[in-house]
Amino acid sequence: MTRRRILVTESLGPKGLEYLRERAEVDAYDLLPPEQLPELMGHYDAVIIRSAHRLTRELLANKPRLKVVARAGAGVDNVDLEAATEFGIAVINAPGANAIAAAEHTFALMLATMRNVPSGNDHVRQGGWDRAAFLGRELYEKRLGIIGLGRVGRQVARIAHGFRMPVAAFDPFLATEIFRAHDVEEFTTLDDLLRWAEILTIHTPKSGPKLGLRELSLLPVGAVVMNVARGGLIDEEALAHLLETGRIHAAGVDVFSHEPPQRESPLLRAPHVVVTPHLGGSTHEAMVEVGLMTARGVLQALENQTPSNLVNVPIPDLPDEDLKALDRAMRILGRVFSRLNPKVHGPLVLSVGSSLSSSVIPWLRQAALAAFLDDRLDERVNTINALLVAEQQGLTLLVEESPLRTTASIALRWEGRPESEVAFSIEPQGQVVLRTLAGIPMEMPWPEIALVTRHHDAPGVVGRVGTVVGQYDVNIGQLHLGRRSAGDEAVMVLTLDALPPEELLSALAAQPGIGSVYRFSDA
Ligand SMILES: NC(=O)c1ccc[n+]([C@@H]2O[C@H](COP(=O)([O-])OP(=O)(O)OC[C@H]3O[C@@H](n4cnc5c(N)ncnc54)[C@H](O)[C@@H]3O)[C@@H](O)[C@H]2O)c1
Ligand SMILES: O=C(O)[C@H](O)COP(=O)(O)O
């Protein structure tokens, strides 16, 4: 197998790079000039970026080799997620891995503005000693308003409690328990939070609320504003204007609507602003965490596993081992069902046993469609683009949560055609067990290599199958039989020790009584 090739366009933590290099061929740059990216993208299985590059639809299109793109960091706003999903490209990020770094940087900026650190520093270096000119303000007991109580927002709240700051937040997507758990007062409207906060800090994705002149004017006179989230969340002109008038006392800004900001950016001219060049996530510690989380996720995705940091697929909240077993079961189910049912008959029904939690269903739906469609289409179909491809193919999948199936079982059938059903169960040790084949009850652990026949239940068939397989020097490990009724349609599943060649399948299909022959392999 050709070794996987991974492109790293911007500096990645050394441990992450090492992890990648042990497992793949890696070309890593401290900063790849963005204009070189279009030419390189198509030659790699995975591309890892940070904030200096944008992965647009144009860059992602027509890249048959490219399976995974990763944002080594939190915000994926520089990746066209819709396009990646459409092209079946997995998108990975490193959620939370730099949250402590970003929260601490928020306080670095907060303290720097409140205590005039940068201007005091410049003053002394220029020979000054005017202590009165740099009278500061304390964080102690100042009301801190957080917009977005996610991974970074919660770390900010934790640190703020140490400064004895009353903390409140606005985050309409979170349950009240989360606010309580972090000892943060919940505000249900943004305007109320703005009226309350003496220090305001925003920690939402780029899609979060935009703070313009109206919103910023709601803050108490002399408020302080922080943006360590994303440029554009706070209107730079409006903030600069309110700083000029003294309505807002100071601001700490790490992110800009254009990075780097243009020299004439109003914020760079406004008073009492401390700026940094997008340093929120840039600590040695965060680089290690982000690098490793990204590297692991990329390799898992390249190995067709489902990493928990996959952005464009709903990830079931299951332990890794359970997810792995379920993933294998879904691949086998979709493929076996597709082979035994080449013709489409109306909607597909995915029947899910009651011991599988409902939260897994969105993923099961995508995984079932992906395995079924990938088996029959030339294009790349995976859990990422399965829903889109199914829609294009006019294929509908209904999900039925079956109380009759008490185990962790999954089954596919055409609606109204029980004789088409294929079902598997996943046992506690992760074993995938065949339960139904073509509507016929079975019970056998599904092997890595399987040969399946649909045949007529008649004397001699099993013997003939054994003889033919033996003639091709392929060893049979196990043999399981099932039938609708005596003398009726029957199925046979052989566990083989080697992949049977095409000629073996043709030789079997030519035997009297044998209808169809299929081979399956995990590889
Ligand atoms: N400056 C840096 O270097 C740096 C480092 C890390 C993260 N970030 C950025 O910080 C931000 C927060 O990161 P995170 O890891 O905490 O993300 P997160 O997804 O864990 O948290 C974001 C929170 O914002 C909330 N939210 C979304 N839309 C909202 C809205 N309209 N109003 C209020 N709340 C809303 C979500 O419910 C969520 O709780 C992101 O933009 C991320 O890209 C920047
Ligand atoms: O989203 C993030 O993680 C931060 O913005 C960090 O960006 P960076 O990787 O370019 O430092």
Q: Whose CA is nearest to atom 35 of ligand 1?
A: 148
Distance in angstroms (rounded) separating the CA atoms of residues 298 and 44: 12
**pLDDT tens-place string over residues 277-318:** 999 999 999 999 999 999 999 999 998 888 889 999 888 888
Distance in angstroms (rounded) separating the CA atoms of residues 171 and 503: 63
Please identify which of the residues 259, 303, 400, 427 carries the catalytic annotation: 259
249 Cα to the center of ligand 1, angstroms = 24
400 Cα to the center of ligand 1, angstroms = 36
Percent of the chain that is helix, strand, coil (3-state, to 5): 35, 25, 40
Domain definitions of the chain by residue range: 5-93+285-303, 98-275, 320-521
The pLDDT value recorded for residue 179 is 97
Instruction: Tell me what the pLDDT averaged over the chain comes to.
Output: 95
Let me know if 484 is a catalytic residue.
Answer: no
Backbone dihedral region for residue 394 (phi beyond 0: left; psi -120 to 50: alpha; all else: beta): left
**pLDDT tens-place string over residues 182-233:** 999 999 999 999 999 999 999 999 999 999 999 999 999 999 999 999 999 9
Mutate to test the pocket of ligand 1, among 203, 276, 293 (most ligand atoms within 8 A of CB): 203
Homologous superfamily (CATH) for 5-93+285-303:
NAD(P)-binding Rossmann-like Domain (3.40.50.720)
pTM: 0.87
Q: Which ligand is nearest to the CA of 290?
A: 2
> Could you identify the atom of ligand 1 that is nearest to the CA of residue 73?
6
Q: Are 259 and 51 in contact (CB under 8 A)?
A: yes
The ipTM is: 0.99
Higher pLDDT among residues 459 and 1, named by residue: 459
98-275 — its CATH code? 3.40.50.720
Percentage of the chain beyond pLDDT 90 is 91
- The band of 319, judged by pLDDT with boundaries at 50, 70 and 90, is confident
The pLDDT value recorded for residue 520 is 97
Please identify which of the residues 143, 203, 230, 331 carries the catalytic annotation: 230
Show the CA angle centred on residue 520, arms to residues 514 and 522, nearest 5°. 165
51 Cα to the center of ligand 2, angstroms = 6
- CA proximity to 443, closest of 434, 430, 452: 434
Higher pLDDT among residues 314 and 481, named by residue: 481
Largest CA distance in the chain: 105
Mutate to test the pocket of ligand 1, among 104, 152, 176, 186 (most ligand atoms within 8 A of CB): 152
Contacts of 31 (CB under 8 A, 6+ apart): 9, 10, 11, 52
The pLDDT value recorded for residue 1 is 58
**pLDDT tens-place string over residues 421-456:** 999 999 988 999 999 999 999 999 999 999 999 999
List residues near ligand 1 (CB under 6 A). Answer: 74-75, 95, 98-99, 102, 147-153, 170-174, 203-206, 208-209, 228-230, 254-255, 278, 280-281
List residues near ligand 2 (CB under 6 A). Answer: 50-51, 72-75, 98, 278, 280-282
- For residue 262 the two structure tokens come to 């243009």
Alpha helices in 91-223 (DSSP H): 99-114, 117-125, 151-162, 176-181, 190-196, 213-217
Please identify which of the residues 53, 105, 203, 278 carries the catalytic annotation: 278
The pLDDT value recorded for residue 115 is 98
The pLDDT value recorded for residue 346 is 87
Higher pLDDT among residues 118 and 324, named by residue: 118
Same fold, 5-93+285-303 and 320-521: no
Report whether pLDDT(359) > 90.
no
Report whether pLDDT(268) > 80.
yes
**pLDDT tens-place string over residues 80-93:** 999 999 999 999 99
Q: Whose CA is nearest to atom 9 of ligand 2?
A: 50
> Could you identify the atom of ligand 2 that is nearest to the CA of residue 72?
9
3-state secondary structure 504-523: HHHHHHCCCCEEEEEEEECC
> Could you identify the atom of ligand 1 that is nearest to the CA of residue 207?
28
**pLDDT tens-place string over residues 257-266:** 999 999 999 9
**pLDDT tens-place string over residues 69-80:** 999 999 999 999
- CA proximity to 68, closest of 49, 95, 40: 49
The pLDDT value recorded for residue 195 is 98
Top CATH class, 320-521: alpha beta
> Could you identify the atom of ligand 1 that is nearest to the CA of residue 209?
31
pLDDT, mean of residues 7-30: 98
The pLDDT value recorded for residue 314 is 81
Q: Which ligand is nearest to the CA of 100?
A: 1
Report whether pLDDT(406) > 90.
no
Q: Are 496 and 521 in contact (CB under 8 A)?
A: no
- The band of 402, judged by pLDDT with boundaries at 50, 70 and 90, is confident
